Amino acid sequence: MELGPRVHQQDGQGKAPEPQAAPSDASVSLAHEISVLWGEYLDGREVGADDDFFALGGNSLIGIKIIDRMLRDYGVELSVRDFYVAQTPARVAELIAQGRPRT
Amino acid sequence: MRLTPGTGKGIDLGLVDLFDLDLYTSGDPHAVWDLMRESAPLHHQVLPDGREFWSVTRYDDVCRVLGDHRDFTSERGTVVTHLGVDDVAAGRLMTSTDPPRHTQVRRAIGARLTARAVAPWEDRIRQAVARFLEPALDGGPFDLAERALLLPALVTGPILGIPERDWEELVQLTAMVTAPSDPHFRHGSEAATLAISHHELVTYVTEWVSRRRAAGGEDGSLLDHLMNVRAGDAPLTDEEIALDGYSILLGANVTTPHTVSGTVHALVERPEQFQKAQADPSLVPNLVEEGLRWTSAACNFMRYAVHDTEIAGGTVPARGAVVAWIGSANRDDSQFADPHTFDITRRAAKRHVAFGFGPHFCIGGPLARLTLRVFFEELLQRFASIELDGEPQHLRSFFIAGMTHLPIVAQKRQTP
């Protein structure tokens, strides 16, 4: 059985990586939303988009709640490994953007 | 980590860094602990990031720190990798809970893990051990340390109620908890590795429990037992089940393999001890105790001082972290004559504290003892001799003393 949720990657494997675009307004505001959301689980403290989850006092029990909340709010099931390696709201926002169904 | 110390010349206790992972991968911690027991029985270290801890290394002091919850609490965490960060699971995870709650939960869960309760599993364990040893019988190279990581899967998997297909990943996750900096197990930063492994293990148990509930009935497994025990007149909460299930998985996986590898390594280095055990199988139970003492796979546990507390000729201030070095206590010559000699006939071997001491004494100890006895009975019966087939490699951890590689070749025994 699968031990943890896996990210639902949209881009197929083997494709050449697309050039990285500069952060758009949309991704900046998503990173901000996620920072605010993290704050709720981190004793209501102020969280910046580039703050480190662990430096903020994050731990796995908080991570479980946040990943669960991301699924409810954004419909994206984040991979546990990607989430903790990403470690900042900005980078988690990228994961969410990648994982969202494309319209 | 290296189990036979060198001379220890030139060690300066003021400069020693007990959190230096190189000390455990390629250094000589026993030489350091020898000196600490002798001249700094209460040792204080401040890490570059400002965190600090006190260390006790003598047998009596280690027992007191581990066993006396009134002075040294478990409720802020017991694993050194989390030094300075209070345990988020305090009071709910059994190992991070003091009496009286600890006593209630411990009694309830422990009822299924006493020597008497685990005895009926002996035949099943013997079959699993036979299967485990089978591939080494052809005399080809066999990496015992690598393979032993899966031994608890074969042995305790069925007892816990976990299907074999899940074990490889669970073993990987539990190894990440114990050695988050070892390149074999690291995933991103050390903090990320710890969080990933905790997260996935707790999630695994949680999902196991919900599947079990959906299926209904009982399956007689240990995890199932966690779902049904009553501690202090109430069942465990779902969170307690998840956390204690995690803790049991961890305990089963991360120590037994290293005790096996460390003890076999000691026997390989001392063929006369190997032959002695082979000539007299009644020595096996004591060989197991000496192997536990010698390897001390759980190298230390931590407590926090409740108030200013005098110990080992000094004072630990209130809220100070104290690391009880089990590996050192098991080489204290006040208890063990010639402590750095591996001797399977040692009388006092069983006095070791490899399973800890006091209320938090390893709950799986009886099962580990049974498994190790069966393992060495079967090993000695099958193999005439064992030789090294390459350099052993030590686990990069200051929490678990273990090996990642122990390449051996074995000669099959002709006349069992």
Tell me the DSSP string of A6-73: -----SPTTSPPPPPPPPPHHHHHHHHHHHHHHHHHTTT----TT--TTTTT--HHHHHHHHHHHHHH
Q: Band of the pLDDT at B89, cuts 50, 70, 90?
A: confident
Q: What is the pTM of this model?
A: 0.89
At B82 the pLDDT is: 86
At B406 the pLDDT is: 97
| Count of beta carbons in the 10 Å neighbourhood of residue B91 | 14
At A61 the pLDDT is: 85
List all residues of chain A from 7 to 46 with a beta carbon under 8 Å from chain B: none
At B294 the pLDDT is: 98
Residue B299 pLDDT > 70, yes or no? yes
CA distance A32 to B185: 33
Which of B88, B169, B188 lies nearest to residue A84, judging by beta carbons?
A: B188
How much is the ipTM here?
0.72
Per cent of chain B over pLDDT 90 is: 77
User: Which domains does chain A show, CATH number per domain?
Assistant: 25-98 (1.10.1200.10)
At B415 the pLDDT is: 67
Which of B200, B204, B240 to mutate: most A Cβ within 10 Å?
Answer: B200
CB B268 within 8 A of CB B274: yes
pLDDT tens track for B244-297: 999 998 888 899 999 999 999 999 999 999 999 999 999 999 999 999 999 999
| For B162, nearest residue in chain A (alpha carbons) | A1
CB B206 within 8 A of CB B242: yes
Place of tokens 């099943």: B124
Tell me, rounded to whole angstroms, the distance of Cα B60 from its chain centroid. 20
| Count of beta carbons in the 10 Å neighbourhood of residue B283 | 18
At A102 the pLDDT is: 60
CA distance B82 to B85: 6
At position B81, the amino acid (one-letter code) is T
| For B196, nearest residue in chain A (alpha carbons) | A81
Identify all chain A residues contacting B194, using CB atoms and an 8 Å cutoff. Answer: 60
List all residues of chain A from 72 to 101 with a beta carbon under 8 Å from chain B: 80-81, 84-85, 87
pLDDT tens track for A70-100: 999 999 999 999 999 999 999 999 999 988 8
Cβ of B203 within 8 Å of Cβ of A81? The answer is no
CB B295 within 8 A of CB B354: yes
Tell me, rounded to whole angstroms, the distance of Cα B251 from its chain centroid. 7
> Taking residues B107-121, what's their average pLDDT?
93
Q: With an 8 Å Cβ cutoff, is A68 touching chain B?
A: no
> Taking residues B140-158, what's their average pLDDT?
91
At B416 the pLDDT is: 54
Structure tokens at A68: 């669960």
pLDDT tens track for B52-70: 999 999 999 999 999 999 9
Residue B390 pLDDT > 60, yes or no? yes
Report which of B232, B227, B219 is spatially closest to residue B244, judged by C-alpha positions.
Answer: B227
CB B158 within 8 A of CB B184: no
DSSP of B144-196, one letter per residue? HHHHHTTHHHHHHHHHHT--GGGHHHHHHHHHHHH-TTSTTT--SSHHHHHHH
Average pLDDT, chain B: 93
pLDDT tens track for B192-234: 999 999 999 999 999 999 999 998 888 889 999 999 999 988 9
pLDDT higher at B164 or B66: B66
Three-state DSSP at B283 gives helix
DSSP of B191-244, one letter per residue? HHHHHHHHHHHHHHHHHHHHHHHHH-S----HHHHHHH-EETTEEPPHHHHHHH
Q: Into which CATH architecture does domain B21-412 fall?
A: Orthogonal Bundle (1.10)
Cβ of B199 within 8 Å of Cβ of A63? The answer is yes
Three-state DSSP at B38 gives helix
Q: Band of the pLDDT at A23, cuts 50, 70, 90?
A: low
pLDDT higher at A12 or B113: B113
Residue A8 pLDDT > 80, yes or no? no
Q: With an 8 Å Cβ cutoff, is A3 touching chain B?
A: yes
Cβ of A61 within 8 Å of Cβ of B89? The answer is yes
